[in-house]
Amino acid sequence: MNTYVNLVKSWYQSGQEMISTYTDTTKKKATVKIDKSAVIYDARDFQSSHFDNAKCIRTLTKLIYLFNKGEHFTEDEATSLFFAITKLLQTDEPSLRRVVYVSIKEMRKHPSIYIFTSSLHKDLHHKNPNFRRNALRTIPLIVDPSNLQQIERYIKELIVDPDLGVSSSALLSGLQIFQTN
């Protein structure tokens, strides 16, 4: 029994010594280098009739990173990206759709954001409640004042939706639109 206690003590002491000699200089910082032109080139795959969901998610994630980093896109680049991403809204893959909605939210400051409005209106009437919820959460960020009456009508319809997530998203969207406009 005594040898067992001594063994545990020695392990503990050696572990403490290792922890005390460990410094942060041994850690290497990860650097991420994402090229804007490569991401735009990869976004061309969104236009194909058969696209790889995992590759599209990776490309959208890189695009979100570039937007968060503050990368500037020209009007032509942004418009081509917006139209390409709009094609991804035709898929029924939930994980891809989720990343598409996040990318739309990140691109809300660009002038070409109006391109997504009609696609989001279609999602408000989709049979999948997840698509309706996500569309409701995204619409207040890209709403155009000329579409307010139409969006208000959709929100009123969706407040009484049988799915509680959809109705709560509609309430929150209505509040956000009311506060901003």
Q: Give the SS3 label for residue 37.
A: helix
Amino acid letter, 142: I
- Which residue's structure tokens are 């937007």? 67
CA distance 162 to 167: 8
CA distance 103 to 98: 9
Output the pLDDT for position 114.
Answer: 76
CA distance 107 to 82: 9
Spacing of C-alpha 78 from chain mean position:
17
Domains of the chain: 31-144 (1.25.10.10)
Kindly state the DSSP code that residue 74 receives in the 8-state scheme.
-
CA distance 174 to 36: 36
* pLDDT tens per residue, range 79-137: 888 888 888 988 888 899 899 999 988 888 777 777 788 888 888 888 999 999 999 99
CA distance 53 to 153: 34
* pLDDT tens per residue, range 69-78: 888 888 888 8
- Phi and psi at 144, nearest 5°, equal -100, 135
Output the pLDDT for position 120.
Answer: 85
- Percent of residues, the chain, with pLDDT higher than 90: 27
Predicted confidence band of residue 166 (pLDDT cuts 50, 70, 90) = very high
